[in-house]
Structure 1
Amino acid sequence: MDIQVKIAITAPDGEIHEFNIAAFEKGHVDAAEIGLTIEESKELLVKLQREIVAAQTAAFCAARSTCPSCAARLRRKGSKRIQYRTVFGDITINSPRLNHCGCQPGSAQTFSPLTELLPDHVAPEMLWLETKWASLVSYGITVDLLKDVLPIGKRLNAETVRRHLGRVASRMEAELADERYSFIETCAFDREHLPNPEGPITVGIDGGYVRSREKGQSHFEVMVGKSIPTDQPDRYLGLVQSHDEKPKRRLHEVLKEQGWQENQQVTFMTDGGETVINIARNMAPACEHLLDWFHVTMRITVMGQYVKGLAHLNSNEAGEMASALRQIKGYLWNGNLHDGQAAIDDLVMDLDEIETEYASIKALRKAAAEFQTYIANTAWMIPNYAERRRYGERVSTGFVESTVNTVVGKRFCKRQQMRWSKTGAHLMLQTRTRTLDGTLRTKFLQWYPGMKPDGEAKMAA
């Protein structure tokens, strides 16, 4: 079976140009022969792309070859060949250089029209694909994936993908407005006249660790978060606290993109760390800061494990300690800070007085003392968890723990041997969070209005 593929391109002046694109000899008696193979489709796409790009750039240059002021035809100084990297192959384009018209004096005597049209020599969809997949998997796997399914040029490598992702993330960073101490812009009177908000927003923020490439430092901390509104899609947040100069602005922009307004309730759930709290401080007038239950029970569980070890040597004392931990947990769960803190103080004193040969007694005493300080410092953030649970409200940032694993663990740490600089990790977090919450394509649509949303094609019938 002989298959011929031809196209016809109608230029802006109405002239029709026809091209023979490809020819295939196909059988029809074996399943493997039915339809195009991957290699045949790559050959077809790259040839089709070459003719379409050539026609489009020629039309653009022709439109720019006359003076916009006096309509005189501009003299051509010469031309050169440039490479334009697209999803369907690297295309060589003829790029003319034209003289400026004498009616428009300026410092430059010549200009290249394609510099205006294709400043980066990389197609926006190519940048989007590279950024999306490199945000999800390693740079090397991204290259292999794209080359497997698309007629990508042989010159594409992991370093190129890394540079392109950095370029995209740096552009996002450049668009971020200045940092501010407070983002509250309205007074109480103004907020009373705002429209009724859609519903409360819950924001969970926590930290994770990434392997460091810097000498003398094995790991550094990154902050990740998740914003969950009532009637809007969830959004992710990621940054390297010791590198980022605009952490509060970054959180503010996430809330604004979700339609947040200043009379809308926002609940910030954190582990009580000062660094994390500072990101959300003075962010919203109608807000509350809660200590998530997960971090409370985690510390109680650690002490409970030590007490189980103590039971082998001092069963009576261990029984009393276990009972005290259950009592403390109950007090805190019901928001009874007065009795809860008193029970913690008693536990610390009892541990200081106990005499035992238990090897981990020092560790248990240290854990109890740290828990005493932790609860004292975060008492203002401890609500009545039982009441919140009865009303169906969140009491834990378990969803943020999974966010840490999703944003950080699966790309930066687990089964990844790569070590990161703070700058590189921070830039990766910006593209990865947008990829995970589905807003990366939206950002590209803002930059390149000619791109289409996912699933939307523009084809003539």
Structure 2
Amino acid sequence: MKIVVRAELVTDWGETTIIEVARFDRPVQLPDPESIGLSLADGKQLLSGLQQVVIPAQADEYCEIRRVCSHCQRQTQLKDYRRLTIDTVFGTVSVRSPRLMSCPCEPPFYLEVLFSPLSQIIPERAVPNLLLLQSRLAAQMPYRQVVVMMKEFLPGTEKLNHVTVRNRTLRVGARIDAIELAPGEALSPDTEWSIAVDGGFVRGREKVRPASFEILTGRLAASGVKPRVFACVRSEVPSIADKFAALLQTCAGTRSPKVCVITDGGNSVQSIHRQLPFPVTPILDWFPLSMRIRNLEQISQGMQAWSETETHTKNLLHREMTKLRWCFWHARFEKAKDKIRQALVLCRIIVAETPAFEESMRHLDYRLRDLWAYIEGDKTSLVTYAKRQKANKPISTAMAESAVNQIINARMCKRQQMRWTTRGAHLLAQVRCAVINDDLPAKLAAYYKKKSELPEHISRFLELLRRGAAQEPQPF
């Protein structure tokens, strides 16, 4: 049996052309399982052949229409033909691209200048669908693995390499980095948005110290709204606060949303909420605070007391340490500070009778002073954690830590021995966030729409040309 696939092309003015796309032979003698139906190679051949037919036909039809002036209906002059190579999802296609002389009565130039119609609609020799596909894959797996997968399933990818995939992915990342979608529908004014911020480190490519750099990552969530992840390298954005503010205002649909910022008190993130252009409620992550208190409880419980004085001191310190968690949980901060002061006084005035007990008291004294400095540096971020948990509101950066694992670790760190530049990591993080948020096609569409809009000064210049062309020449 022979299978012949033909394509019938019908133009807008009624001309019909039938072109053979592919031909397959399926002999009836001794059929084997591999000859049943179409194989993967047959499918790739069929798609490639169909693409080689469709794109030249589209190009010829579009250029034929474009040769006619939209004002005077006169056919413009043809200068010459050139070959234009276009990379598509189903292979690379070479088409004949004419260069035309524009009509002086037609916008936007109102002059006789050379232009290529195909270069206007495909300026970068790769269709947007291919850029979208490669960036989606590159956001989830290494660049070389993307090449292997595309060569396995798509036709015309024999010459594809990882450098091309990387460059196109970073190009997409640069395009969507400065694009913010239109603000969504504003929710209730009482809706509280929670933004948790954390950081993850990746290995740097430069052979200088520090060998790693930080990527700020987080998640934005509200009740009844799909959470959104975000990431950026601090040195690659003009202002972290402006970027966060634009994200919040876009998602909330208002210029002054009700926001709480949850951080772990690190030096790189604790001052972000002070730079935002609207009021923000800062919240200190409960988990690191609880772990510091847990360390104090373990130290006081593990003291080796031998004398009656040491035993009494150990029991007193342990009783005070076990009450600290309750004080912070219910926002009794002054009471917690009093207990810390009492414990510090005990560590200073009690004379230990054994070296082990003295070492434990010294260790406890150091950890108490560390906790004091921790809460003093973030005392404005301490809240009533019990009340927030009862209201089913977040009190920790757990959702930010999951975003770090989802965005950074899964693609740049774990089991992937790669080194990154700050620019490359930042742009890839933008693509990965857009893929996770499921708005990569929308952001690319917004970029192309913005690109098609002429700048204001060019629009004014073209308007002056149009007015000059419309004026009749004055007689001498």
- Does the alignment reach a TM-score above 0.5? yes
Partner residue of 1:154 out of 158, 161, 164: 158
Equivalent residues in 2 for 1:22-37, closer than 5 Å: 22-26=22-26, 31-37=33-39
Q: 2:329 aligns with which of 327, 333, 349?
A: 333
- Does the CA-based 8 Å contact 2:249-2:256 persist in structure 1? no
Could you say which residue in structure 2 is the equivalent of 1:456?
none
Q: CA deviation at 1:159?
A: 1.0
Which residues of structure 1 form unaligned runs of 5+?
Answer: 178-193, 450-461
Summarize the Cα distance change of 1:31–1:73 in structure 2 as closer, same or farther, 3 Å threshold.
same
Deviation, 1:200, is 2.2
Structure 1 position 37, deviation (Å)? 1.6
Contact 1:166 1:427 in 2 (8 A): yes
Whole-angstrom distance in 1 between the partners of 2:343 and 2:141 = 48
Q: Which amino acid aligns with 1:224?
A: T
Give the Cα–Cα distance (whole angstroms) in 1 for the partners of residues 403 and 305 of structure 2.
Answer: 39
Cα distance in 1 for partners of 2:68, 2:298 equals 81
- Is residue 198–residue 230 contact of structure 1 (8 Å, CA) maintained in 2? no
> What does 1:381-396 correspond to in 2, within 5 Å?
381-396=381-396
Q: Does 1:298 align with 2:291?
A: yes
Work out the CA distance in 1 between the residues paired with 2:367 and 2:342: 14
Q: Deviations over 1:337-369 (max 9, x none)?
A: 001122233444555667635889877654433
Per the alignment, residue 172 of structure 1 pairs with: 176
Other-structure match for 1:229: 222
Q: Counterpart in 2 of 1:189? A: none
Partner of 2:432: 432
Aligned to 1:13, what secondary structure does the other structure show? Answer: coil
Query: Secondary structure at 2:225's aligned position in 1?
Result: coil
Q: Is the 8 Å Cα contact of residues 131 and 431 (structure 1) preserved in structure 2? A: yes
Cα contact 2:202–2:420 (8 A) shared by 1: yes
Change (3 A) 1:393 1:65: same
Report what 2:469 is aligned to.
none
User: Any idea what SS the aligned residue of 1:84 has?
Assistant: strand
* Partner residue in 2 for 1:276: 269
**SS of alignment partner, residue 91 of structure 1:** strand
Alpha-carbon distance in structure 2 between the residues aligned to 1:360 and 1:423: 47
The amino acid that maps onto 1:55 is: A
In 2, Cα distance between the equivalents of 1:424 and 1:352?
53
Q: Under a length normalisation based on structure 1, what TM-score does the superposition of the two structures give?
A: 0.84
Rounded to whole Å, the distance in 1 between the matches of 2:205 and 2:362 is 34
Whole-Å Cα distance in 1 between the matches of residues 332 and 157 of structure 2? 65
CA distance in 2, matches of 1:63, 1:93: 17
Partner of 1:10: 10
Determine if contact 1:203/1:225 at 8 Å carries over to the other structure: yes
Please state whether the residue corresponding to 2:61 is helix, strand or coil: helix
Q: Find the counterpart in structure 2 of residue 50 from structure 1.
A: 52
What residue identity is the alignment partner of 1:234?
P
Q: 1:447: Cα distance to partner?
A: 3.9
Task: Work out which of the residue numbers 208, 217, 222 in structure 1 matches 2:200.
Answer: 208
Native 8 Å contact 1:345 1:372 kept in 2: no
Instruction: Determine if contact 1:146/1:152 at 8 Å carries over to the other structure.
Output: no
Structure 2: how far apart are the matches of 1:158 and 1:308?
A: 57
Q: CA deviation at 1:393?
A: 2.1
Letter in 2 for 1:14: G
Q: Secondary structure at the match of 1:258?
A: helix
Name the residue aligned to 1:183: none
The one-letter code of the counterpart of 1:127 is: L
Which has the higher mean CA deviation after the structures are superposed, 321-330 or 132-141? 321-330
Counterpart CA distance in 1 for 2:390 and 2:187 is 29
- What does residue 250 of structure 2 align with? 257
Q: Which runs of 5+ in 2 are unaligned?
A: 450-476
Measured after TM superposition, the shift of residue 227 of structure 1 is: 0.6
* CA distance in 2: counterparts of 1:224 and 1:72, whole angstroms: 58
1:419 corresponds to: 419
Instruction: State the secondary structure of the residue aligned to 1:281.
Output: helix
Q: Partner of 2:213 in structure 1?
A: 220
State how 1:236-251 maps to structure 2 within 5 Å. 236-251=229-244
Q: How far apart are 1:160 and its partner, in Å?
A: 0.9
Q: CA deviation at 1:239?
A: 0.9
The alignment status of 1:96 with 2:68, answered yes or no, reads no
Structure 1 residue 174 displacement after superposition: 4.1
Note the C-alpha offset of 1:304.
5.2
What secondary structure does 2:145 align onto?
helix
Following TM superposition, by how much is the alpha carbon of 1:281 offset from its aligned partner in structure 2, in angstroms?
3.2
Would the alpha carbon gap of residues 196 and 112 (structure 1) be closer, same or farther in structure 2, given more than 3 Å must change?
A: same
- Alpha-carbon separation, structure 1, partners of 2:236 and 2:365: 36
Whether the aligned pair in 1 keeps the contact of 2:412 and 2:418 (CA below 8 Å) is yes
Letter in 2 for 1:39: A
Give the letter aligned to residue 57 of structure 1.
Answer: A
Q: CA deviation at 1:274?
A: 5.2
How far off its partner does 1:408 sit? 1.3
- For 1:350 and 1:161, the matched residues in 2 are separated by 64
Following superposition, the deviation at residue 84 of structure 1 comes to 0.7
Q: Which is worse superposed, 427-436 or 95-104?
A: 95-104
Amino acid in structure 2 at the alignment position of 1:201? W
d(CA) in 2 for partners of 1:117, 1:345: 72
Alignment match, 1:181:
none
Conservation of the 8 A alpha-carbon contact between 1:262 and 1:286 = no
| 1:257-283 deviations in Å (ceiling 9; x for gaps) | 324325643221111345424433354
1:160-200 per-residue CA deviation (whole Å, 9 max, x = no partner) reads 111111111112234469xxxxxxxxxxxxxxxx9843732
For 2:274 and 2:204, locate their aligned partners in 1 and report how far apart those are by CA, in whole Å: 29
Question: What is the DSSP-based 3-state SS (H/G/I as helix, E as strand, rest coil) of the residue aligned with 1:74?
Answer: coil
Identity %, equivalent residues: 28
Aligned to 2:341: 345
C-alpha offsets along residues 377-426 of structure 1, whole Å, 9 cap, x if unaligned?
21221111112222222222211111111111111211121111111111
CA distance in 2, matches of 1:133, 1:360: 54
Q: CA deviation at 1:22?
A: 0.9
Is the Cα–Cα contact under 8 Å of residues 191 and 258 in structure 2 kept in the other structure? yes
Q: After superposition, where does 1:352-431 map in structure 2 within 5 Å? A: 356-357=355-356, 366-431=366-431
Tell me whether 114-123 or 360-369 shows the greater mean CA deviation: 360-369
Report SS of the residue matched to 1:53: helix
Query: SS of the counterpart of 1:52?
Result: helix
